[in-house]
Structure 1
Amino acid sequence: MAFGYGAGAYQQIRSHGGVESADPHGLITLLMDGALERLVTARGHMQRAEIGPKGELIGRCIEIIGGLRDALNHEVDTPLVGQLDQLYDYMSRRLLHANLRNDVGALDEVSTLLQKVRNSWVQVPLEARRPAGAAA
């Protein structure tokens, strides 16, 4: 699973533990959790007009979302892949806007969207998480 420019985001998530034993599904969940944590913290920095830390955290969120986008398997024949690709692109653009305009509403919008994706992601049944042809 290649994360492209989101590889740095993966390394940041390592500090939360569990990465070494996580399966690909779990790694995606950890990335989403890391982005959501950073969005909450960035929101606080934004409200306190702490520009440097706010920008750094939003930048990391953009990297994580880029990693999630890079991890999409476009060979799977489902419209969901394209829809997620567009959603991740939209989230990245909204985060850039939030950073440039100090727009708390845009941060909250991305947090809500990412939380919905995460909630759906963790509901994927265990048997559907295995690659085709993999042994149980």
Structure 2
Amino acid sequence: MGSYNPAQAYKNNSVTTASPGELTLMLYNGALKFLKQAKNALVEKQWEKSHEYNVRVQDIFQELIVTLDRSYPIAEQMFQLYDYLYRRMIEANIKKEIAILDEVEEFVIQFRDTWKQAMVLAKTQG
């Protein structure tokens, strides 16, 4: 028999009830969390853990790519940025370079902060 985990149940419920905008914000926040964990694992020379967190960030970029609404002109630019960052994560994983992770993290912070502002604007205008 499985045990009930209230924290996991809350997390699952928050994802299943989130709007598309909130889901995107969750992806950005998840990428930032895993980037920090990947960097910490590299510092501690925990190669397997670093790889695991790096792959999670790669998975997030893939999700962001496949969920882009291509009916908007900006989607192609976002595709190119996500694809670039995805490839940089692969490079960081191969070379074990924190500097590359720092670069990706800066982009994700900018995306997240801009997305938060866009969500606020959308709520006040809609």
Q: 2:47 aligned to 41, 51, 55, which one?
A: 51
Q: Is 1:41 aligned with 2:3?
A: no
Give, as a single letter, the amino acid of the residue that structure 1 aligns with 2:64: L
Give, as a single letter, the amino acid of the residue that structure 2 aligns with 1:123: Q
Q: Is 1:116 aligned with 2:110?
A: yes
Q: CA shift at 1:22, angstroms?
A: 1.2
CA distance in 1, matches of 2:49, 2:94: 13
Normalised by the length of structure 1, the TM-score is: 0.78
CA distance in 1, matches of 2:124, 2:21: 10
Normalised by the length of structure 2, the TM-score is: 0.84
> Mapping of 1:1-12 within 5 angstroms?
none
The answer for unaligned runs of 5 or more in structure 2 is 1-7
Q: How many residues align?
A: 115
> Mapping of 1:1-136 within 5 angstroms?
17=11, 18-76=14-72, 78=73, 80-124=74-118, 125-127=121-123
Please report the RMSD computed on the Cα atoms of aligned residues, expressed in angstroms.
2.0
SS of the equivalent of 1:88 reads helix
CA distance in 2, matches of 1:59, 1:88: 14
CA distance in 1, matches of 2:16, 2:106: 28
Give, as a single letter, the amino acid of the residue that structure 2 aligns with 1:41: Q
Indicate the structure (1 or 2) with the bigger Cα radius of gyration: 2
Q: Deviations over 1:6-40 (max 9, x none)?
A: xxxxxxxx777221331110011001101110000
Aligned to 1:132: none
The answer for unaligned runs of 5 or more in structure 1 is 1-13, 130-135
